[in-house]
Amino acid sequence: MTDHALASVDPKIAKQILLEEERQHRTLRLIPSENYAFPAVMEACGSVLNNKYSEGYAGKRYYEGQQHIDVVEKLACQRLKKLFGVDHANVQPYSGSPANLAVYFAFLKPGDTVMGLGLPSGGHLTHGWGVSITGAYFNAVQYGVRESDHRIDFDEVAKLAKEHKPKLIFCGTTAYARTVEFDRFAEIARDVGAILAADIAHISGLVAGGAHPTPVGHADIITSTTHKTFRGPRGGMIMCTKEHKKAIDRAVFPGLQGGPHNGTTAGIAIAARLASKPEFRTYAANVVSNAKHLADELMSQGITLVTGGTDNHLVLCDLRSCNVPGKVAAQALDRAGIVCNYNSVPFDTRKPFDPSGIRIGTPALTTRGMGKSEMVQLARWMNEVIRAPDDVGVTDRIRGEVEALCDSFPVPR
Ligand code: DSN
């Protein structure tokens, strides 16, 4: 075998990977959908499994040479079934959006009605938002959050469901700091005969680790990415009850995709194994307690939080009372080594590309082993930067302090 080290084959790309590795080490990663994958997952993703085509499912492939891939895929499915307590798991979706598209393809025809949480209320593009194919090809009805407390308005969900009779209801969020009440969604879906799909992309690690109620027993279909709180590879998965197994499998392949990404499949299997360990339950609980500590300290610094706190891994800051647009704050924080994303807040009057809030979360910092005192310190740094986003002295000083903290909490390798 010839060992062509990346640095000699493509020094430009090698350099950027090295710099990115350094950036990930020297900054505080607060984007709630990001994390550090388990090192064993990274190893599997870069393995020879990349080189194999495997269209079909274990035991029924369109290519020979599946002796090892079949074992890997079966292990991934078995482990997910056990971990989440579901009848069936499909690990082939390339990521969360294709997983959700497969659900549409399994149950809806173009023009059929789907209901989902609107993007400005913390939903996802693929839950029927207008600019997504799901809003363009289906009759999408969007529910929202209450203006008074920014929590999901179940009266509105029930009313819209009765009025529009959707075939499919999506629940699940990308910018919502509160527990998703799957039981209440299930009751509404049952009343109107809709399929309920729970998109747990953000919280699948919390669900697996017992830090968020499970949708199992409430939702017919569960979709997720595998790289967020779950700490697996960039990928997707769909879990479902027995009755929907065939429809889901067909929708993924041959409906939507060709060959699965086998390195990713192995990564999902590894993440599922690691997520079943007691340490992962501790991790999931710590993600939530860290988010609460961060939220509490931000509020005591005078920063307004949407819904006034958090139940999960995520905190949505409304910066209108600080008179700083979300993007200005996010860019200043980035200069200080604190990486988050600007985000709309419910009923935002600013545009999505220049909104009023920032979205932060604790999955990655918790993976690095940070706890309460680091969260308190972080909230204080954030407050200083948000109050003086143009003050280079402040951002430079905090950047140095952030780097010192990062050195004490190395990223998993
Ligand atoms: N990109 C994901 C997030 O950041 O929440 C959703 O797709």
Q: How many Å apart are CA 319 and CA 360, to the nearest integer?
A: 13
- The angle formed by the CA atoms of residues 221, 81 and 250, to the nearest 5 degrees, is 50
Q: What average pLDDT does the segment 175-180 reach?
A: 98
Q: How many Å apart are CA 359 and CA 330, to the nearest integer?
A: 9
For ligand 1, atom 5, the nearest C-alpha belongs to 174
The percentage of the chain sitting over the pLDDT mark of 90, rounded to a whole number, equals 99
pLDDT confidence of residue 1: 45
Tell me: pLDDT of 2 over 80. Answer: no
Count of other CB atoms within 10 angstroms of residue 268: 30
For ligand 1, atom 6, the nearest C-alpha belongs to 174
- The angle formed by the CA atoms of residues 168, 173 and 174, to the nearest 5 degrees, is 135
pLDDT confidence of residue 338: 98
Tell me: pLDDT of 97 over 90. Answer: yes
> In this structure, is the dihedral angle defined by the CA atoms of residues 383, 389, 390 and 395, taken in order, positive or negative?
positive
Q: Which of 174, 96, 175, 108 is nearest to 141 (CA)?
A: 108
Please give the single-letter amino acid code of residue 68.
H
- Whether 76 contacts 269, CB under 8 Å: yes
* Distance from Cα 124 to the centre of ligand 1, integer Å: 8
Which residues, other chains included, contact 4 with Cβ-Cβ below 8 Å and sequence gap of 6+?
A: none
Residues flanking ligand 1, CB < 6 Å: 33, 96, 124, 174
H/E run at residue 186: helix 182-192
Please give the single-letter amino acid code of residue 103.
V
Residue 344: strand, helix, or coil: coil
For residue 406 the two structure tokens come to 């990062």
Q: How many Å apart are CA 185 and CA 207, to the nearest integer?
A: 17
- Whether 286 contacts 367, CB under 8 Å: no
Q: Which of 176, 202, 358 gets mutated to test ligand 1 (max ligand atoms within 8 A of its CB)?
A: 202
Q: What tens digit of pLDDT does each residue of 226-261 get?
A: 999 999 999 999 999 999 999 999 999 999 999 999
Average pLDDT value for the chain: 97
Each domain of the chain, given as residue ranges in start order, spans: 43-275, 286-407
Q: How many Å apart are CA 230 and CA 236, to the nearest integer?
A: 11
Residue 91: strand, helix, or coil: coil
What CATH number was assigned to the domain covering residues 286-407? Answer: 3.90.1150.10
Which ligand 1 atom is nearest residue 174's CA?
A: 5
Q: How confident is the model at residue 413 (pLDDT cuts 50, 70, 90)?
A: confident
Q: What tens digit of pLDDT does each residue of 28-85 get?
A: 999 999 999 999 999 999 999 999 999 999 999 999 999 999 999 999 999 999 999 9
Q: What average pLDDT does the segment 353-371 reach?
A: 98
Tell me: pLDDT of 198 over 70. Answer: yes
- Whether 238 contacts 90, CB under 8 Å: yes
* Active site amino acids: 53, 55, 199, 225, 228, 234
Tell me: pLDDT of 4 over 80. Answer: no
* Distance from Cα 68 to the centre of ligand 1, integer Å: 32
Tell me: pLDDT of 363 over 50. Answer: yes
For ligand 1, atom 4, the nearest C-alpha belongs to 33
Which ligand 1 atom is nearest residue 31's CA?
A: 4
Which ligand 1 atom is nearest residue 225's CA?
A: 7
* Distance from Cα 137 to the centre of ligand 1, integer Å: 21
Classify 43-275 by CATH class. alpha beta
Q: How confident is the model at residue 183 (pLDDT cuts 50, 70, 90)?
A: very high
Q: What average pLDDT does the segment 74-98 reach?
A: 98
For ligand 1, atom 3, the nearest C-alpha belongs to 33
- Whether 275 contacts 251, CB under 8 Å: no
Q: How many Å apart are CA 63 and CA 54, to the nearest integer?
A: 6
Tell me: pLDDT of 3 over 70. Answer: no
Please give the single-letter amino acid code of residue 111.
G
* Distance from Cα 330 to the centre of ligand 1, integer Å: 16
For residue 147 the two structure tokens come to 């203006």
pLDDT confidence of residue 348: 97
* Distance from Cα 174 to the centre of ligand 1, integer Å: 6
Report how far apart, in Å, the C-alpha atoms of 77 and of each of 37, 51, 267 are.
19, 21, 12
Which ligand 1 atom is nearest residue 96's CA?
A: 7
* Distance from Cα 64 to the centre of ligand 1, integer Å: 36
For ligand 1, atom 1, the nearest C-alpha belongs to 33
Q: Which of 29, 35, 117, 124 gets mutated to test ligand 1 (max ligand atoms within 8 A of its CB)?
A: 124
Please give the single-letter amino acid code of residue 410.
P
